[in-house]
Structure 1
């Protein structure tokens, strides 16, 4: 760091209190921007197991009402914490300021009363278990009580989507957890801004007291060897790339579990029906472009590979239309980052292999389409998509695996023919092409009901028979 290089300040939030400081400096992952944080007080970051979690006896209805009020406060244009957050994040994040603003404010749609109630109802067969010990009786007459007990969670947040912070805070509150959020280097701001907003509503509220947010460099053993222990936490809820997950896995053992939203790749499948007319072709290409451009292709649900059931001439027509729609959306996004140098080099090399590949667009971050016979061996990103020509969509099934998250499908009427095979291959979600973004409220995420996995399921058996 040079003496003249600006330093962005990133405060912490520990069990209800904002903590300022600039004792430690770090660099953001993508842009290499320097930011400063306080040193981590590990004692304050851990909630003792000898104390009952603050939210345990707070009714779920009260928690939901508090989250709804938080959403209103975040959307308030005069909220100083959110304004400061977006200003600082614009310096460390690859996404443009307007997209970041939209992400943070748009994510508050999750803090809707009906939505939160639906999420709970879909995750728990009997939501009363979050509030009380629910009586049970088996067919032999043996009685017991079951509770979804408040867990102790470490959340390793991703850097690609600031909106995940809103969702993770809400989910941690719904299960009445004690939460420690490890913020990402590209966004060490959003989580604290939300928690400071909550503290502005009621600094003594149990939701506020159950939340902490700090930053440390992923893989820093001086921190992780202390925190990642079962005497402090029940589960690590980890988002992010392979390195982030690998950093967590080595600490797992009896009493400390992993709930992983690990790296996924989403794809599209376009059947021969797309070539029935010019209108159908343009419709399919526009829908595919919409799925590619979700969060400027930074999100896991954004499509990166499109399998097209066509001959070469038809596939090339699709690629031409797809590129036009991506370029249009890229221009409107305000994000014109050129591709990473290594990725640019690989694509430039492919462009010279005319017999095997064709390329539409340039490596300037304004949209690029590659046509190939097999998926490329790199990760398409930054408005780049690989169109793989297949004779039949059946031929694309061999590329589906447990890392395949969302599959956008066209035509819609053929979806039932493929959903079982996609699930058998490991895919987790099939949608209509163009609908990869918002999911049905309360549906599984990454092949699980997350809140059901977060809680500590506790049984009290009294041994009494009627």
Structure 2
């Protein structure tokens, strides 16, 4: 089945493309006449604007209700294909989809719309003299291998009644088209407002064609990839960027004493195992107050083993395996020469727990490496994160009372855009202002009626 999605109004022939992972191949089609695509999206936009926002919310909720069932045919096919291309286990992918799609239920969408716009109906017309208007077309350039990730930005754009050109991620190309096929079954107007395809990073002609039809651009990727897109954005286009990010955890002595080492270890293991630790929200390091660090690390080895049994890690390619083995060797060498370091790991590469007292340069990431770094206090943990402030995103903050309030504020000033409880790092809600910005309100412009005798009737 095609990994691209073309509405029926796309009549011109496109260029076939093939994405490969090992011996597996997936095919799709890429438009060549972007002027025609723009005209089609303009017509689709007229139909989309006539939908009440609550009808859009209900349609998305109905699609998610289908996809929430793990035996739903489209979901099972998407999960199997995602496992082939990402190397993740089907259990891990199912967990990722549960987390991502769980945020797209009606209650969550309405809460996000209300928080950012005051009232969802602001998108339907003037209320109390003001209305919000979304762009005609959003170009969304997706990347990464987190299953289900495109749904968040795709749904945000549709909520503000914008049509979408989506570049699907090569590392997980199946979900977007599969989700849109179900959306078409539920509410064709929404699915017909989206064109989803793929082009190579160096295909500047296609990027320029797609950019030429967009009023807003959403870019996901590494710093260099996002910079390349940012450089091409026109002055009149809204721009939203999700570039390279890092996340950390902190555990204070009081938090550890209150919850116990075994429970804290379970929380950390969950954060470090979800998505095989490949999400930006996944912690690279947990900084733990020194009197509890070793005990938590010991329990963490048990908890990581249990996570690997319940949700098996995916296959690791040769390059990542080499990086992981090197990380283990460095950690084992430090453990052999220091009384404050220790390593727990199985014979295979399913998981690794490292205890250290130094936050070494973050070489390599992912693949379920749970690093515990002992620190004298919470203030020292925050100081250790300062060199990474530019890329700081998410902190799992295990602290209580006044120390929690003070530290959360310090982390916000440092650069964090999200503070969560340990164990909840990889499950952000739609209400979170993704990377610190209002992602629904950021797509709209406002029009106010003022100083007009007809205001009372608007």
Structure 1 counterpart of 2:281: 301
State the SS of the aligned residue for 2:374: strand
Structure 1 counterpart of 2:4: 12
> Aligned partners of 2:23, 2:95: CA distance in 1, in Å?
23
Verify the 8 A CA contact 1:154 1:180 in the aligned structure 2: yes
Verify the 8 A CA contact 1:53 1:178 in the aligned structure 2: no
Matches within 5 A, 1:205-354: 205-229=188-212, 232-273=213-254, 276=257, 280-310=260-290, 314-335=292-313, 337-338=315-316, 339-353=320-334, 354=336
> Aligned partners of 1:113, 1:276: CA distance in 2, in Å?
38
Q: Which moved more, 1:258-267 or 1:48-57?
A: 48-57
Per-residue CA deviation, residues 225-268 of structure 1 (Å, 9 max, x unaligned), is: 22223xx1122112233344233222123112321222222211
The structure where helix makes up a greater share of residues is 2
Give unmatched runs, 5+ long, in structure 2: none
Structure 2 counterpart of 1:98: 91
> Aligned partners of 1:216, 1:105: CA distance in 2, in Å?
28
- CA 1:434 to 1:377, structure 2 compared with 1: closer, same or farther past 3 Å? closer
State the SS of the aligned residue for 2:5: strand
Q: TM-score normalized by structure 2?
A: 0.85
Structure 1 counterpart of 2:150: 165
Verify the 8 A CA contact 1:53 1:210 in the aligned structure 2: no
> C-alpha displacement at 1:101, in angstroms?
3.6
- CA 1:199 to 1:376, structure 2 compared with 1: closer, same or farther past 3 Å? same
> C-alpha displacement at 1:450, in angstroms?
0.7
> Aligned partners of 1:181, 1:62: CA distance in 2, in Å?
22
Verify the 8 A CA contact 2:30 2:198 in the aligned structure 1: no
> C-alpha displacement at 1:423, in angstroms?
0.8
Structure 2 counterpart of 1:189: 174
> Aligned partners of 1:460, 1:273: CA distance in 2, in Å?
50
Structure 2 counterpart of 1:412: 400
- CA 1:274 to 1:132, structure 2 compared with 1: closer, same or farther past 3 Å? closer
Give unmatched runs, 5+ long, in structure 1: 1-8, 137-144
Per-residue CA deviation, residues 1-43 of structure 1 (Å, 9 max, x unaligned), is: xxxxxxxx63421235699999323335xx6854332243343
How much is the aligned-residue C-alpha RMSD, in angstroms? 3.1
Q: How many residues align?
A: 440
Give the counterpart of 1:432 among 421, 426, 433: 421
Verify the 8 A CA contact 2:15 2:31 in the aligned structure 1: no
> Aligned partners of 2:23, 2:202: CA distance in 1, in Å?
18
Give the counterpart of 2:342 among 358, 371, 376: 358
